[in-house]
Amino acid sequence: MSSVSLDAERAIAIGRAALEVEARALTELAPRLGDAFARAVQLVLACRGRVAVMGMGKSGHVGRKISATLASTGTPALFVHPAEAAHGDLGMVTAGDVVLALSNSGESDELNAILPVLKRLGIPVIAMTGRAESSLASHADVVLDSAVAEEACPLQLAPTASTTAQMALGDALAVALLDARGFKAEDFARSHPGGSLGRKLLTHVRDLMRSGDALPRVAPDLPFTELMREMSAKALGMAVIVDAEDRVQGIFTDGDLRRLVEQGRDLRALTAAEVAHPKPRTVGAEALAVDAADLMEAARITVVLVVDAQQRLVGAISINDLMRAKVI
C-alpha cells in the first residue's frame, strides 16, 4: 500500500475552511426562518398521528436523525425510506400523519414518485429543500428553505454544508415543537430511562435506600460498645440514635469515632446519646436520588438519613448506593 505524504498545514487550513463554510451556512439560514417555519410547526402540532420523515442518500441519513430527535422530544416520528415506500412501506404512513420530506435538489426520483400518492391520501407534506422551484416544493403544503450558498467540499460535490443545514433545521423544528408542547426535562427523561438524565430524574430515594433490618439504629441509653457492635454489623459507617417511637435523635459516624479517639475519651463509659451528633442531614423518601447526592456533596458527608413527616427513621442512602445506581 503506497504511503501518502501529509501536508499538515494544508490539512488544517482545509478543515478550518470547511468549518467556516458550514458555520456561514447556518448563520445565513437563521434569518430565513419565517412564516413557513411557523406553519410547519402548526401542521405538526395539529397532527393526530406521527411525522413520517423521508429522504434518500445523505438526506436520508439526516432524516433518520431528525426522526429520532422528534421522537425523543415529544413528537411521535418514524423514518420511511422512499424507495421501500414505493414497494409497500408506504402503508406505514396513515391518515392523520404528516410527511417531512428532505431533498436538497428537490428532484429525488424515489421521493417524487410517491408524492402524488400522498396527495391522494390527503397527507400533508412539509418539504425541506434547497430549491424552492423544485418538484418536491411544488407538491408540498409547506416549504422549508434549506439552501446553502456553497458546499464545504472543495469540489462542490459531496453534500456537506447542505446536510448540516438540514440537520440544524430539523433540530430547530424539534426544539420549537418541544417548547410549544410544554415538554419538560421529566418528559425527556421518561423517553430516555436508560440514560444518565433518566436515572437522575426518575430515580427516587425510596428506590435506593436501605431500610428495615439493614439500618443500624440504637436507643439513646445504649452503651458505646453496643453502639459499635450495631454499627459494625450493618456496615454503613454510621449508626442512628432513635427514641422509642423511632424519631431520629442523632447520628454517630466513623468520623465521630476518629475524633473521640483523638480526644483520648474513655469510650466504654459513654452512651449512644453522649456521642451522637445532633440534627443529622435528612431527606424524604420521595426526593430525587440526585437531590440526596447534592446534599452529600454540599455537606461533605457520605450517608443521608431518610425520614417521614414526623422525623421517624425510614431509611438511609449512601454515596455507594448512588454510585451503584449510576446516579452519580
Band of residue 198 on the pLDDT scale cut at 50, 70, 90: low
Cell numbers at 241, concatenated: 440514635
Report whether pLDDT(285) > 90: yes
3-state secondary structure the chain: CCCCCCCHHHHHHHHHHHHHHHHHHHHHHHHHCCHHHHHHHHHHHCCCCCEEEEECHHHHHHHHHHHHHHHHCCCCEEECCHHHHCCCHHHHCCCCCEEEEEECCCCCHHHHHHHHHHHHCCCCEEEEECCCCCHHHHHCCEEEECCCCCCCCCCCCCCCHHHHHHHHHHHHHHHHHHHHHCCCHHHHHHCCCCCHHHHHHHCEHHHHCECHHHCCEECCCCEHHHHHHHHHHHCCCEEEEECCCCEEEEEEEHHHHHHHHHHCCCHHHCEHHHHCECCCCEECCCCEHHHHHHHHHHHCCCEEEEECCCCEEEEEEEHHHHHHCCCC
Provide the pLDDT for residue 186.
Answer: 64
As a whole number of Å, the end-to-end CA separation of the chain is 48
* 206 pLDDT above the threshold of 70: yes
pLDDT of res. 324: 86
Fold match between 8-183 and 205-324?
no
Mean pLDDT of 218-228: 93
Spatial contact of 143 and 32, defined as CB atoms under 8 Å apart: no
Q: Quick one: pLDDT band at residue 72, thresholds 50, 70, 90?
A: confident
**pLDDT averaged over every residue in the chain:** 90
pTM of the model: 0.66
Q: What is the pLDDT of residue 290?
A: 87
Fold for 205-324, please state it. CBS-domain (3.10.580)
Mean local confidence (pLDDT), 254-267: 86
Q: What confidence tens digit (pLDDT) does each residue in 93-149 have?
A: 988 999 999 999 999 999 999 999 998 889 999 999 999 999 999 999 999 999 999
Asked whether residue 263 carries a pLDDT value surpassing 70, the answer given is yes
pLDDT for residue 130: 95
* Banded model confidence at residue 190, pLDDT cuts 50, 70, 90: low
pLDDT (average), residues 13-26:
95
Domain ranges of the chain: 8-183, 205-324
Superfamily designation of domain 8-183 = Glucose-6-phosphate isomerase like protein; domain 1 (3.40.50.10490)
Q: How large a percentage of the chain has pLDDT more than 90? A: 64
